A and B are shown apart, each in its own frame.
Chain A
Amino acid sequence: MTVLEKVSAALGRTSPLLEAPIPPAISEPLVRLVHSDIGLPELFAKRAEENKMHVTACNVEDLMGHLIGFLRETGCRKIALPISRLLDGLEVVKQLNHAGFEAKRWDQMTLDELYDYDCGVTDVTYAVAETGSLVIRASAKHGRSLSLVPPIHVAILEPKNFLPDLVDVFDRLAKDGGAGNINFITGPSKTSDIEMNLVVGVHGPCQVQLFILQ
Chain B
Amino acid sequence: MTSTLEHQTIDPHTQDFLDEAKASKFDFHSISIKAAGDERLKTAINSAVMRQYTGRQLRLLELPDSEGLRTLAGDIKGHALDYLDYYLVQTKQAVERNGGQVHFARTGEEAKRIIFDIIDKANCKSCIKSKSMVSEEIELAHALEARGMDVVETDLGEFIVQIDHDKPSHLVSPIVHKDRASIGKSFAEYFGTPFTDDPEKLTKQARVYLRDKFRRADFGMTGGNFVVAETGQVCVVENEGNARQSITTPRVLVSLIGIEKLVPRLADLAVMLKLLARSATGQPFTVYTNLFGGPQQEGEKDGPEEFHLVFLDNGRTEILGSEYRETLRCIRCGACLNACPIYRKIGGHAYGSIYPGPIGALITPLFQGLGNFKDLPQASSLCGACYEACPVKINIPKHLINMRKDIVSQHLNHPMERVIYRMWAWALKSPFLYGAISAMQKFELRRRAKKTGWVKSVPFPGSGWTQIRDMPAPAAKTFHEMWRGK
Residues of A within 8 A of B (CB): 2-4, 6-11, 13, 16-21, 23-24, 26-27, 29-33, 51, 106, 110-112, 115, 131-133, 138-140, 143-145, 148-149, 165-167, 169-171, 173-174, 179-197, 199, 201-205
Contact = CB atoms under 8 A, between A and B. Distances in A.
A7 B320 contact: yes
Contacts of A195: 44, 48, 179-180, 199
B270 A31 contact: yes
Contacts of B281: 192
Contact of B248 (A115, A145, A179, A199): A145
Nearest to A185: B288
B174 A193 contact: yes
Given A11-B320, A24-B79, A199 B270 contact: no
B141 to A, nearest CB: 18
B291 interface: yes
Contact of B84 (A11, A33, A111): A11
Nearest to B110: A3
Interface of A (DSSP majority class): loop
Interface in B39-79: 44, 47-48, 51, 62-65, 68-69, 72, 75-76, 79
Contacts of A8: 85
Nearest to A116: B215
A10 B199 contact: no
Nearest to B298: A140
B192 interface: no
Nearest to A148: B244
B267 interface: yes
A182 to B, nearest CB: 4
B274 interface: yes
Nearest to A2: B104
B257 interface: no
B95 to A, nearest CB: 9
Given A3-B313, A193-B173, A199-B203, 7 more contacts: A3-B104, A32-B64, A180-B297, A184-B290, A193-B156, A194-B156, A202-B241
Interface string B18-57: 0000000000000000000000000010011001000000
A158 to B, nearest CB: 22
Top 4 nearest A-B pairs by Cβ distance? A204-B241, A140-B299, A10-B321, A179-B98
Given A4-B85, A26-B72, A183-B288, A11 B98 contact: no
Interface of B: 44, 47-48, 51, 62-65, 68-69, 72, 75-76, 79-80, 82-86, 88-89, 97-99, 104-106, 154-157, 160, 173-175, 179-180, 183, 199-200, 202-204, 206-207, 210-211, 214-215, 230-233, 239-242, 244-245, 247-249, 259, 264-271, 273-274, 281, 284-294, 297-303, 311, 313, 317-318, 320-321
Nearest to A23: B264
A31 B274 contact: yes
B215 A189 contact: no
A153 B409 CA distance: 60
B297 A140 contact: yes
Contacts of A183: 244, 288-291
Contacts of B293: 179-180
A133 B285 CA distance: 9
B267 A170 contact: yes
22 contacts: A2-B106, A3-B105, A6-B313, A7-B259, A18-B86, A26-B72, A30-B65, A32-B64, A115-B211, A174-B267, A180-B292, A180-B297, A185-B288, A186-B285, A187-B287, A191-B203, A193-B155, A196-B47, A199-B199, A201-B203, A202-B240, A203-B211
B105 A189 contact: no
Nearest to B100: A179
A13 B85 contact: yes
B259 to A, nearest CB: 7
B284 A193 contact: no
Contact of B199 (A7, A179, A197, A204): A197
A185 B267 CA distance: 19
Contacts of A145: 248-249, 302
B297 A179 contact: yes
Contact of B64 (A29, A143, A201): A29
Contacts of A11: 82-85, 320-321
Contacts of B204: 201
Contact of B72 (A27, A51, A169, A205): A27
Contacts of B232: 179
Contacts of B156: 191, 193-194, 202
A124 B173 CA distance: 31
B300 A140 contact: yes
A169 B51 CA distance: 30
A155 to B, nearest CB: 14
Given A140-B299, A202-B240, A203-B241, A184 B288 contact: yes
Given A23-B264, A140-B299, A30 B64 contact: yes
A179 B294 contact: yes
B128 to A, nearest CB: 10
B300 A21 contact: no
Contact of A131 (B86, B285, B298): B285
Contact of B302 (A4, A10, A143): A143
Contacts of A132: 285
Contacts of A6: 106, 313, 317
A203 B84 contact: no
Given A173-B266, A193-B160, A204-B287, A3 B311 contact: yes
B260 to A, nearest CB: 10
Contacts of A144: 248, 300, 302-303
A174 B211 CA distance: 34
B266 A203 contact: no
Given A21-B79, A203-B214, A181 B245 contact: no
Contacts of B244: 148, 183, 203-204
A171 to B, nearest CB: 7
| Residue in A145, A180, A193, A202 with the greatest tally of chain B CB atoms within 10 Å | A193
Given A4-B88, A7-B84, A191-B240, A139 B64 contact: no
Nearest to A140: B299
